């Protein structure tokens, strides 16, 4: 799991290898081939998101980031190959989005552990 610091919140992505990540971007903020504008209020009110695969350095931009598998101490991750397989099935698909219940952290933790969790919006 990759945590990207975005001011007062974090954007989450899943490392796929070859310097690429998979992540969700809110629909309406970007066109089919552009990278997300990860700041601003549009994403807070979005109802839909799209799963995209982008180079890590392009997603991160000038923001600080780190590898943060913070739930590993009490959740068992799937094997790496299974995580990547599960993630690839989602690329370019649209899914419901809700900043409180189905956000970017929920999505990547669902891929890694089988259940979506987010410390940003609830205690785990």
**Is 104 annotated in the active site?**
yes
pLDDT in tens, 34-64: 444 443 444 555 678 999 999 999 999 999 9
Contacts 24+ apart (CB under 8 A), 31-40: 35/59, 36/11, 38/4, 38/6, 38/11, 38/63, 39/6, 39/7
Residue 101 has pLDDT above 90, yes or no: no
Rounded distance between C-alpha atoms, residue 124 and residue 121, angstroms: 10
Rounded distance between C-alpha atoms, residue 105 and residue 118, angstroms: 6
Catalytic residue among 23, 54, 104, 106: 104
Mind listing the domains of the chain with CATH numbers? 2-29+45-113 (3.90.1720.10)
Of 81, 91, 76, 103, the residue nearest 17 (C-alpha): 81
User: In the numeric block, which tokens belong to residue 94?
Assistant: 């649209």
Confidence category of residue 122, pLDDT binned at 50, 70, 90: low
Residue 3 has pLDDT above 90, yes or no: yes
* pTM over cut 0.95: no
**Is 11 annotated in the active site?**
yes
Task: Count helices and strands (H / E) in the chain.
Answer: 4, 6
Catalytic residue among 11, 23, 54, 106: 11
**H or E segment and range at residue 35:** none
């Amino acid at each position: 799991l990759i945590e990207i610091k975005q001011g007062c919140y974090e954007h989450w992505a899943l490392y796929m290898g070859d310097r690429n990540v998979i992540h969700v971007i809110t629909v309406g903020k970007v066109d089919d081939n552009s990278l997300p504008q990860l700041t601003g209020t549009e994403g807070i009110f979005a109802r839909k998101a799209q799963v995209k695969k982008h180079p890590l350095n392009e997603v991160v931009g000038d923001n600080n980031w780190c590898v943060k598998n913070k739930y590993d101490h009490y959740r068992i991750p799937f094997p790496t190959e299974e995580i990547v397989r599960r993630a690839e099935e989602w690329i370019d698909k649209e899914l419901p989005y809700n900043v409180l219940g189905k956000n970017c952290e929920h999505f990547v933790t669902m891929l890694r552990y089988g259940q979506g969790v987010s410390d940003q919006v609830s205690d785990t």
